[in-house]
Structure 1
Amino acid sequence: MTYGSSVREELRDPTRELRRAIPTVYEGYKQLHDAALADGALDVKSKELIALAIAITRECDGCIAAHAHAAVRHGVTPAEAAEAIGVAILMNGGPGTVYGPRAYAAVREFHADASLTPAAAAHHGQHA
């Protein structure tokens, strides 16, 4: 496993346990998530890049992995992610140079994984 996948795997079981303990909190969060990331004046791809930059700012490995994965699913390329990460570094200074590379590694990992499957390639083409 590499960076993005290892973080997602590490959080999988504890998240499931907490979700079972407080399901209404997670249901409310999912509604907020879906509303905030829905297509609107900004497309989902742009919103995922914003979320990735904020994840770097908040120094949240779980958020980085989740939004790197979602960004790639919505057609973000490593070059686009790198530019968004550059803005996060600008706005965060030193911490951005630590969490930015983590985000870039996660995007590259999920982008490589997505390009290996025919279904993912077809889905990726829909967002180009």
Structure 2
Amino acid sequence: MTYGKAVRDALRTPTRALRSAIPDVYGGYRELHDAALSPGALDAKTKELIALAIAVSKECDGCIAAHAHAAVLRGASPAEAAEAIGVTFLMNGGPATVYGARAYDAFQEFREQRGKEDVA
């Protein structure tokens, strides 16, 4: 199983249905998301790596997929992703080794996909 595109695809339809039911809540969340992840004292790549690490700690496959993809788009390297994930081992113990592996797999999947798009 992959933890990148497959997870995003599985969540797409139910997420759209819920977004239609509560558009104002999703709109508010989107504003928070954009404000929190915009460049400031920390660049957007670093913020996405932090979000990826938190997604591992929260054991959220959908969050892992979203932030692994965003980290790739922001130019994070596999070494940077791995180190960010590694910090979750310290803070979250054994479960982080499972969700960390999922996160790294998702990151690599999106990185490979991005490489193919750059060639095309």
TM-score relative to the length of structure 2? 0.96
User: Which residue of the partner structure matches residue 48 of structure 2?
Assistant: 48
Corresponding letter in the other structure for 2:67? H
CA distance in 2, matches of 1:109, 1:19: 27
Deviation, structure 1 residue 119: 7.4
Corresponding letter in the other structure for 1:17? A
Say how many residue pairs are matched. Answer: 120
Corresponding letter in the other structure for 2:10? E
Matched, 1:26 2:26: yes
SS in 2 for 1:3: coil
- In structure 1, list runs of 5 or more residues that go unmatched: 121-128
CA distance in 1, matches of 2:53, 2:65: 12
Deviation, structure 1 residue 29: 0.1
CA distance in 2, matches of 1:24, 1:49: 28
Give the ranges of 4+ consecutive aligned residues of structure 1 lying more than 3 Å apart after TM superposition.
none
Corresponding letter in the other structure for 1:104? Y
Q: Deviations over 1:85-104 (max 9, x none)?
A: 11011111101011000000
User: Which residue of the partner structure matches residue 73 of structure 1?
Assistant: 73
Corresponding letter in the other structure for 1:113? Q
User: Which residue of the partner structure matches residue 61 of structure 2?
Assistant: 61
- In structure 2, list runs of 5 or more residues that go unmatched: none
CA distance in 1, matches of 2:15, 2:117: 27
SS in 2 for 1:117: helix
- Say which structure, 1 or 2, has more relative contact order (CA 8 Å, 6+ apart): 2
Corresponding letter in the other structure for 1:80? E
